[in-house]
Every structure is written in C-alpha cells, then in structure tokens.
Amino acid sequence: MKSVIDCFISFVSEEQVRATVENLRKSEKVGKIYLIGTGVEPTIALKDCVSLHVNLIRSTSTIHIIAEHSDAPFTLIYTKYTTLDLGPFSLERMINIAEDTGAGMLYADHYHVVEGKQENAPVIDYQQ
C-alpha cells in the first residue's frame, strides 16, 4: 500500500505526541509526520518525524507552512494536544470518501474519554 497522507501534529512535548505518532505509524497510508510547535524541539525518540517551528498553531502562516511541506495527495492536520486515537480503518475510510466525492476537506465526529468512559462529541452536518 502506498503512503498517501502527510500528517501535521501539534507539538508541546514528546510525552504529549508519542502515542499519537505511534497510532499514526500503524497505518500504511501515513507518509511523513510533521510536529508543529512554537517551543522546544523533539528529541531523538521521535527522529522519524520532521519538526516545524511556527509562531502560532492556528494561523494562516501555519497553513501556508503546512501547504509548502505536504507533498502527499492528502494532508491530516491535528491541532489538539490530546492523543489522537484512530478507529479501525478510519484513514482508509476518509480517503475513500474524499476520492469518491471529490471533497476538498473532510472532518469526522469524534469522542471524548472522561474517566475511562467514551462520550460522543458529534460535529454539525455541513454541505456546500
């Protein structure tokens, strides 16, 4: 399977991103993983990731930096600081939907885990 997604993950510390990087590496669809942050650089434990320094995580200039660095057909941007735990085949499903619909951007419902219990956090429906 060919890697088709470059991933951009908000970075504060290794402890904060380690599980997310491990989860992403489980998918053959994931190509490069970039750690975007405003502070410290990751150490050798995350050497297979590329570190990008930005002024603000949520800014137009950061989107420009992401666009300059992503050369895969698809780009995943995760701006939260909690662990991204993907469901089974979720990346593959997102790719299929993007290809089938020609959508320029996709997002999905997500869940909160509170005291070990999963709670729905659905997003609003949207159509252009």
pLDDT tens digits, 59-90 = 999 999 999 999 999 999 998 888 888 888 88
In whole angstroms, give the CA distance from residue 69 to residue 63. Answer: 10
Q: What is the overall mean pLDDT for the chain?
A: 85
Q: Is the pLDDT of residue 1 over 60?
A: no
At residue 73, the 3 state secondary structure works out as: coil
**Are 73 and 10 a contacting pair, CB within 8 Å?**
no
Output the pTM of the full model: 0.83
Average pLDDT over residues 38-52: 75
The residues, any chain, with a CB within 8 Å of residue 105's CB and separated by 6 or more, are none
Q: What is the mean pLDDT of residues 39-58?
A: 78
8 Å CB contact between 96 and 73: no
Residue pair 23/11 in contact (Cβ under 8 Å)? The answer is no
